[in-house]
Amino acid sequence: MIKIQVFLSYKWEDRSYADGMDGLLKNPNNRYRHLTDRERQDLRNKGENAWKKYLRDKIRDCDALICLIGKDTYNATGVIYELSVATSLGIKIIPVRIPNMHGNTPNIINKLKILNWNAKEINDELSKK
């Protein structure tokens, strides 16, 4: 089975949806094994340099970054930083719309296709080179 390392990028307030995406990606019926990585605690209180270094190291080790698009994702400082790092490292970025949310995307990814919260669509996109 092919393993794909995925970093989940999301606004901290949307972390319950990140839990849902974890479950969707770890479904045993997937053709690929997705190893997700994301922050499990709010790192903002550690200082800007500390959380930026931590996130950069995590993103560097991934094959793809899934960005969960919610109500206020477009102005989330941490998400914008994560997207910038992924872009600079040439990491594939896959925006996924959180169900029933209609917020804008961060400018850095506004030309990318936003996927629906759908396991087949997400798996198909992750499997593309």
Cα dihedral value 19, 20, 21, 27, nearest 10: 110
Mean pLDDT, the chain, rounded, equals 87
CB 83 within 8 A of CB 111: no
Predicted pLDDT at 16: 93
Q: Is the pLDDT of residue 62 over 60?
A: yes
Classified as helix, coil or strand, 12 is helix
| Residues 91, 108 contacting (CB under 8 angstroms) | no
Q: What local confidence, expressed as pLDDT, does residue 49 receive?
A: 83
Query: Which amino acid type is present at position 129?
Result: K
Residue 118 structural domain: 2-127
**Tens-digit pLDDT profile for residues 90-128:** 999 999 999 999 888 999 999 999 999 998 899 899 888
pLDDT tens for 2-35 read 788 899 999 989 999 999 998 888 877 776 666 6
Number of domains in the chain: 1
Task: Output the pTM of the full model.
Answer: 0.88
CATH code, domain with 23: 3.40.50.11530
